[in-house]
Structure 1
Amino acid sequence: MSLNDEALNYHEHPRPGKIEIVSRKQCDTAYDLSLAYSPGVAEPVRAIQDDKDNAYRYTNKGNLVAVISNGTAVLGLGDTGALASKPVMEGKGILFKKFADIDVYDIEIDLSDPDQFIETVAAIAPTFGGINLEDIKAPECFYIEDTLKKRLNIPVFHDDQHGTAVIVAAGLQNALEIVNKKIDDIKVVFLGAGAAGLSCARLIRHLGVNDIHLVDRKGVLNKSRDDANIYNQEFLSDTKATTLEEIIEDADVFIGLSGANLFPKEYLLKMKRDPIVFALANPDPEITPVEARSVRNDVIMATGRSDYANQVNNVLGFPFLFRGALDARAPQISMNMMLAASEGLAKLTKEEVPQSVLDAYQVKELKFGPDYIIPKPFDPRLKEYVAESVRLAALKEFYGK
């Protein structure tokens, strides 16, 4: 049976779909029923009516996240429509529960108009402790997230933007340490100026990267371009370079968030010593590690694939960002919280890897170095290192604790 057939079988049997609702409370007797529903349920209703914060005491709001999409940018499949995005949203629900013990309702909204989408999400927001936006195309995703963050007092997070950024920032810090380069001295080139590219650029700029260049389908985003959207304006550079081949000259870091095979291996020869390459297009990267090492043996590589070293996997980020945010009851996921998550990931990578992780990946050793700059998703310490770092950052920023 092929992988495609196995995937369909997995989703269909023994019962269709990947998630379900399980009761947290006993409901086996008539008395249980009187507590779970009428007349007992009236008491928490009155308590929440008197004080909305009581919803966190008497309902699952404080541990419930909505994973919401309109299906306009699903994986690498494009605009599949809302309903076809449901398997992905259910999958995110599994990851939230598995890695951070967070409950999820997946919600697919059949609206492509950003304002209508915003109104729908805002109307249902009281149900949830947080909103995870997923697979919404750029540039609408920026407007949707920004508007909802201003309107709601719960965390709103577009994982396609920020989840990748948190892990890239962690891997970049570690890679730079390995090659002994200072973060404020490096030149970084992005191929891809969409949601993930812009968010990654913003986060590494907060880390101290000054020399950042973005390349989109039309070339380098420089100040001679008159077609950049409002979200790209902040990254228009002074360079006269117009192509990837020109701008990659003397770069220290290449970060690809674009498409398969778009970074010719010859371009690696133009980069400085010990180049760092994050080729994150899925399922096929801009350049494979095998191709890269055929021309340079000093390259540090990361991809989005599990069959290569240094996988940039969003499951390292979003479950623990939300875990920390929910535990702190933060009104949003801020830049400081994302930086804290990155720092937690970077720190964890340098710790001795437990045997359970080695067994899960069937390897004898994982040690901080060129082939291990990012932790593995099944590391049981991620909650301690990442979620707790996020929680503490949130408490300090929003509550002065």
Structure 2
Amino acid sequence: MAWKTLDDMDLAGKVILTRVDINVPVENGRVTDATRIERIAPTVKDILAKGGKPVLLAHYGRPKGAVVPQMSLAITLDALRAELGVPVHFAGDCIGIEAKKAVTALPAGEVLLLENTRFHAGEETNDSGFAESLAALGDVYCNDAFSAAHRAHASTEALAHLLPACAGRGMQAELTALEAALGTPMRPVVAVVGGAKVSTKLELLGNLVGRVDYLVIGGGMANTFLAAQGIDVGKSLAEHEMTDTALEIFDKASAAGCRIVLPVDVVVAREFKANAENQTVEADACPNDAMILDAGPDTVAKIAEVFGQCKTLIWNGPLGAFEIEPFDAATNAAAARAAELTRAGALVSVAGGGDTVAALNKAGAAEAFTYISTAGGAFLEWMEGKVLPGVQALDSAK
């Protein structure tokens, strides 16, 4: 990749337009989860340390090009000040006279947050005029919002072509981790893909079978693949209409030399609720009146063996109904094995996606992984092999 980092830029005395993702959950006027704000702190602090003036660009919610007071970024100010430990000022617009005055008045060593970029229709249409109005405020552009990199918006794409541009620390870490996992990985590579439906991850599966050595399929998706092989999955969640597609993925994997790993035993129950009465059976022995809710211990042993043979792991999606016990057992056990191998230096492990992060946190394994991506759509589109406009713009930046 040809993108630059903060280390490549002269920031002293310059205004650094810094695209961040602080689209955080809020309840009763307070930020309830400051994870995304914590993630931008290294970038902002490095800019300050290098003598730059960070001016933050961000979106909040979906105001669709109109000013919606309830979606003002002012709601994040207290959390930003607490995390950054310096004064954070606010301007009621992200372009125009008010924004320009606020930028001009910004003291060294302090931070300015501009109002929601999506209050302007030109943001989501990637309008060049709006991007030029943003560019007029600064000297350097820094993108630290990987989670928005799959959007070709003015503040994530067009702006990178108008100013000297670089990746922030969060973006740098994300791109470095993803390149290590799928760009130029240490082989063999194993991907774990779980979740409910094959139909939502078709492009992902199609891309991975041509790029990894092992593909572990779990969750409801695994039921669809079992059914495609003629196995009766009882009342399990399965997309029987996707049989032909599943068989095509089998064929593509075979041609590419990718081994698909499916459950060999499963945990079944007749009710979808916590601690429901359950039993473990062979994958082809699900009772007609039962549903598959997790992979069994033999499957976990098989997955653990594959992990032990591989050098790189990419994980997206749980292996079972991880939200309810005891159907979180397979996800927890496989995650623990991945964490153990990562700690031992035997495995590079990268994971992402909302359910994935929740599952790995629940398993107590997330901290041991090499990298956990907080991006949702951007992480999935990267796994699907798609070009991310925000990243491509940095590659070809001015």
Shared topology, TM-score over 0.5?
no
Structure with higher strand content: 2
Q: Which has the higher contact order (CA 8 A, sep 6+)?
A: 2
Greater Cα radius of gyration, structure 1 or 2: 2
Scaled by the length of structure 1, the TM-score of the pair is: 0.33
